[in-house]
Structure 1
């Protein structure tokens, strides 16, 4: 994307074309202006347009340019945190409400895909959180207990069943989440955009917001090509925030994550490796993730950035790691490589902010963007249409607080991932 093969890699090569859009040229008026063309912005635009509201969405670059077009494609339920940790951080009311909303998130994503006929390689076969060692096994067993207490369809698989599902005996067990699945993330973002346009929303790409001002009872947003006047502003820029909402970026620490995609596997290998097409990640601190795409490519990723010395180090590590998991792959070629940034908050919990009168947004998805982004976009739409109040939302309003030692921590994460993968 934007002539960078390492920005979106396989996803850009295999996604259906984005719907036709133009940059903003001139001055327009709307009820709601949404800033950001990822899952949250597109979901919000779609739900508002379906409710008959006049919506304009401004995307600084292209649809799905940020995390929405770069991630692994796992449609996970909940957060990285275990459920009890969420309620401990937010309290029982907001904590359980958030867990319920995000627990139902994959079903919401799949329902939207079905309703709008989005071509995004959807697989509904669940995900596997794989245990590394005794500590990893204890972790997934505790997660199983906490989710089952809330009625979720999750269960721990023993080492034997895990091996049969993965095609490798590298793990001591796994947590199967039957709510979850996988998709082609950029294709899903573009599909949401097409559905929003069909519902009546107006989308402008290559239209970064460079200034925002409240005048009287309306917002005035300026791009290089024009202005939008609106009653409401939805800020949906998250980890890639710039301009007037740069503060959203500063409260997050960027964690780089890369993916490599092999050439399509042959029929014999596909009968051995992930025959059920589940999405997988493990319990390591510097985790690994893998899954198959529709054509049978194995997509393998971990923490790190494919730039400077990281490109050679991470690709060499990936070859070693894959040879341990699946020696039958041999010296298989990587067809695509790409990376992006995960926005991490201090407590690994998303944020809901009010940036001024009628200016709102969710952010800080901590590597769980597909289902939360979709659901939070819907929640913002329900708030604007009056079907929900602030008190009904899954997160309380929070102030923006800049992350401490952000640049130092980001440098350390990138360098530390290289060091870990080097040795």
Structure 2
């Protein structure tokens, strides 16, 4: 259903603003290359009733709806404030890792003990394998081959070597340590990288193409996806949740919040001050020539993360361009500050000096991830 969309507002801050409605996508590389968005069900009318209402139509919301409809035959309605997959799903790095948060597995053991770490690993591995099975079903430019952690300083080499040992001996993985020379010979000539840990679990995707695949499949299964339908508040009475939207009230037996870093403070007491938005700024270069790729030593599409506290993560995309991102801006209102794009450019040039001055025509856009408090 066609819906008149409003211009994208880069200054939206979920911690202080009310929900947006009907905004166009942020001007990202993913939006420019994903193709025409699939049809949705337009704004939610008054009087809808469902078994489950999912609030938010990003990866989490759409996959939740898809799973409920396919495996549990539930009647599901998805409510989205803007366009489908408008938030971080259309702005992230597209890097699927078998990981959780900022801690490595050796740090899980130190913090919670080996048995808890093993249970956590089993849960995360199960989720990653399920996600891999979804990726295989959709045309999303999947890049398999695993993931590389690069030591950006010499003192990080022993840390990664120990992590590789822990992952292999305790958790049963088949990781591999690469020397600086092996990394450059097989994968990439990152001038900052001193060594690397390779893990076979890791898939890079075009995130918006994948989300569009979720959207099509969910609607085929009977899920109603209503865009331009922000949830302003939720009331519960007589055993039903009443979700107030601009078009009226939607009722549900159960509600799943999947709004991530775009969860506004007033939507529900269970999420208030529990989700902190964290900006991740991303940049994509123009497609590089064969000579530029050779001079930079970019040989593989395996995605890469360095060991900084505020990590740089990057990869070579199927069209020969390079995508690079880092956590930088703290608030949405600061995301458009040119210094954040300059930080990304400097990071790119430190890693690949031959690209400096090559008129890369970089484009950048940021989005909010969510940290649970």
Q: Please say whether Structure 1 and Structure 2 have the same fold, judged by a TM-score greater than 0.5.
A: yes
Distance (Å, rounded) in 2 between the aligned partners of 1:263 and 1:31? 46
Paired residue for 2:78, among 47, 54, 57? Answer: 57
Paired residue for 1:318, among 336, 339, 344? Answer: 344
Q: Deviations over 1:119-154 (max 9, x none)?
A: 211101111111011222122122212221201232
For residues 290-329 of structure 1, the aligned pairs below 5 Å read 290-305=314-329, 311-329=337-355
| 2:223 pairs with 1:240 | no
User: In the superposition, relative to structure 1, how do residues 273 and 42 fare at CA in structure 2: closer, same or farther (>3 Å)?
Assistant: farther
Matched-pair contact (CA < 8 Å) for 1:131–1:137: yes
| 2:288 pairs with 1:265 | yes
| 2:136 pairs with 1:114 | yes
User: In the superposition, relative to structure 1, how do residues 330 and 153 fare at CA in structure 2: closer, same or farther (>3 Å)?
Assistant: same
Distance (Å, rounded) in 2 between the aligned partners of 1:309 and 1:182? 24
Task: Specify every segment of 5 or more residues in structure 2 that has no aligned partner in the other structure, as ranges.
Answer: 11-25
| 2:136 pairs with 1:135 | no
| 2:166 pairs with 1:146 | yes
Q: Give, in angstroms, the shift of residue 68 of structure 1.
A: 1.5
TM-score normalized with structure 1 length: 0.75
Task: Specify every segment of 5 or more residues in structure 1 that has no aligned partner in the other structure, as ranges.
Answer: 345-363, 365-402, 404-423
Other structure's SS at 2:154 match:
helix
User: In the superposition, relative to structure 1, how do residues 325 and 317 fare at CA in structure 2: closer, same or farther (>3 Å)?
Assistant: same
Matched-pair contact (CA < 8 Å) for 2:314–2:324: yes
Q: Give, in angstroms, the shift of residue 64 of structure 1.
A: 1.6
Other structure's SS at 2:86 match:
coil
User: In the superposition, relative to structure 1, how do residues 92 and 219 fare at CA in structure 2: closer, same or farther (>3 Å)?
Assistant: farther
Report what 2:180 is aligned to. 159
Q: Give, in angstroms, the shift of residue 114 of structure 1.
A: 2.1
Q: Give, in angstroms, the shift of residue 228 of structure 1.
A: 1.6
Q: Give, in angstroms, the shift of residue 89 of structure 1.
A: 4.9
162-171 or 254-263, which deviates more = 162-171
Report what 2:20 is aligned to. none
| 2:277 pairs with 1:254 | yes
| 2:300 pairs with 1:276 | yes
Q: Deviations over 1:56-104 (max 9, x none)?
A: 1111112222222211111111212122433555566654333112124
Q: Give, in angstroms, the shift of residue 322 of structure 1.
A: 2.3
Q: Give, in angstroms, the shift of residue 310 of structure 1.
A: 6.6
Distance (Å, rounded) in 2 between the aligned partners of 1:219 and 1:26? 14
Distance (Å, rounded) in 1 between the aligned partners of 2:213 and 2:335? 36
Across the aligned residues of Structure 1 and Structure 2, the Cα RMSD in angstroms comes to 2.4
Paired residue for 1:124, among 144, 160, 164? Answer: 144
Whichever structure has more helix as a proportion of its residues is 1
Distance (Å, rounded) in 1 between the aligned partners of 2:43 and 2:112? 40
Report what 1:389 is aligned to. none
User: In the superposition, relative to structure 1, how do residues 218 and 321 fare at CA in structure 2: closer, same or farther (>3 Å)?
Assistant: closer
TM-score normalized with structure 2 length: 0.84
Distance (Å, rounded) in 2 between the aligned partners of 1:29 and 1:256? 35
Matched-pair contact (CA < 8 Å) for 1:50–1:200: no
Distance (Å, rounded) in 1 between the aligned partners of 2:6 and 2:291? 37
Report what 1:82 is aligned to. 104
Other structure's SS at 2:181 match:
helix
